Amino acid sequence: MRILVTGGAGFIGANFVLQTVAERPEITVTVLDALTYAGNRTSLDSVADRIDFVHGDIADLDLVDELVSGVDAVVHFAAESHNDNSLADPWPFVQTNVVGTFSLLQAVRRHDVRYHHISTDEVYGDLELDDPERFTESTPYNPSSPYSATKASSDLLVRAWARSYGVRATISNCSNNYGPYQHVEKFIPRQITNLIDGIRPRLYGAGRNVRDWIHVDDHNRAVWDILERGRLGQTYLIGADGELDNKSVVAALLAEFGRDPDDFDFVTDRPGHDMRYAIDSTLLRSELGWQPRYRDFREGLAATVRWYRENESWWRPRKEAVEHAYAAQGERTLPTH
């Protein structure tokens, strides 16, 4: 089987490629990645001689058509992925997430290639802290940020191409991932690298927002299950029952670094900040037999902290620019709640 992995130099895509090469040596992998600020080719160094890497844009129709014509399946990870950036400058999100997905869909339609679309739980909007419900495959779409609106748009394109043109597509909507190779702009790597640098972690608002954490390897194993055994046209939610509020995540990190539990700052909140995400992954578990392997968040977090400690050369070149961008977006410390 030959697969085209878009966004394979990003966080989840790179972990997917590393896992695939290690566990499925019979698969031929081609990566298509534009190497934006979020892409890092060195994440794939250990498998560089076992994959093909193409530096290019998913919105380049001719390039995408050529690459898709030579594979059996496309796994589409490439995206502009950071909510804060989408609030500051939404255009690249429309271009990559919507136009880029359109370009891939046209190619898989023309060449009748199997397509798996990676999406997010954020398309469903957010839940109240005390809401007993969790997101399911039938929750109505209600995105909040420019990022989640463009991801929702791309999901709808996939659904339309599957129904109207018979494209052999599946979609997965996953909750917040953590693990190695995640960009230092994101919550957990930002706080880990702050702590390594002796800077206090920074919590938006009151730190009460809840995210449903899943280890990136568990996400990627679910993607393979869906690719191999998922029903065409079906959406699957991926989540590992990992709900935690941001303050608890910071508390776990402070403990990991042997720091005082109060050693963090509250900073300006994100506009429109979603309160809570929570996934009901019953369909994935019952139909495809998927189970998470990382069941203890604190263990997974400790392993992730070790990875950032041991791989400073991977993240250090990007740290200063990220902190500069947050400062330029107006982030400032708030009085303690």
Where in the sequence numbering do the catalytic residues fall? 121-122, 147
Stretch that binds ligand TDX, among 198-206, 220-228, 253-261, 296-304 (CB under 6 A): 198-206
* 7 contact choice in ligand NAD, ligand TDX, none (CB below 5 to 8 Å, kind-dependent): ligand NAD
Measured from the CB atom, is 200 or 230 closer to ligand NAD? 230
* 209 contact choice in ligand NAD, ligand TDX, none (CB below 5 to 8 Å, kind-dependent): ligand TDX
Q: Contact between 323 and ligand NAD (CB under 6 A)?
A: no
Q: Contact between 78 and ligand NAD (CB under 6 A)?
A: yes
8 A C-beta contact, residue 229 and residue 114: no
3-state SS, residue 220: helix
Q: Contact between 116 and ligand TDX (CB under 6 A)?
A: no
Residues 19-58 that bind ligand TDX (CB under 6 A): none
d(CA 68, CA 178): 30
* 77 contact choice in ligand TDX, ligand NAD, none (CB below 5 to 8 Å, kind-dependent): ligand NAD
d(CA 292, CA 303): 16
Residues 98-127 that bind ligand NAD (CB under 6 A): 100, 118, 120
Q: Contact between 211 and ligand TDX (CB under 6 A)?
A: yes
Choosing from 202, 215, 221, 276, the residue that interacts with ligand TDX (CB under 6 A) is: 202
d(CA 266, CA 207): 8
Q: How far is CA 164 from the centre of its chain?
A: 28
Measured from the CB atom, is 191 or 200 closer to ligand NAD? 191
Which residues, 6+ apart, have CB-to-CB distance to 160 below 8 Å? Answer: none
In one-letter notation, the amino acid at residue 262 is D
Which residues, 6+ apart, have CB-to-CB distance to 198 below 8 Å? Answer: none
Q: How many CB atoms lie within 10 A of CB 148?
A: 26
d(CA 222, CA 224): 5
As measured in angstroms, the least distance from the Cβ of 26 to ligand TDX is 30
Q: Contact between 82 and ligand TDX (CB under 6 A)?
A: yes
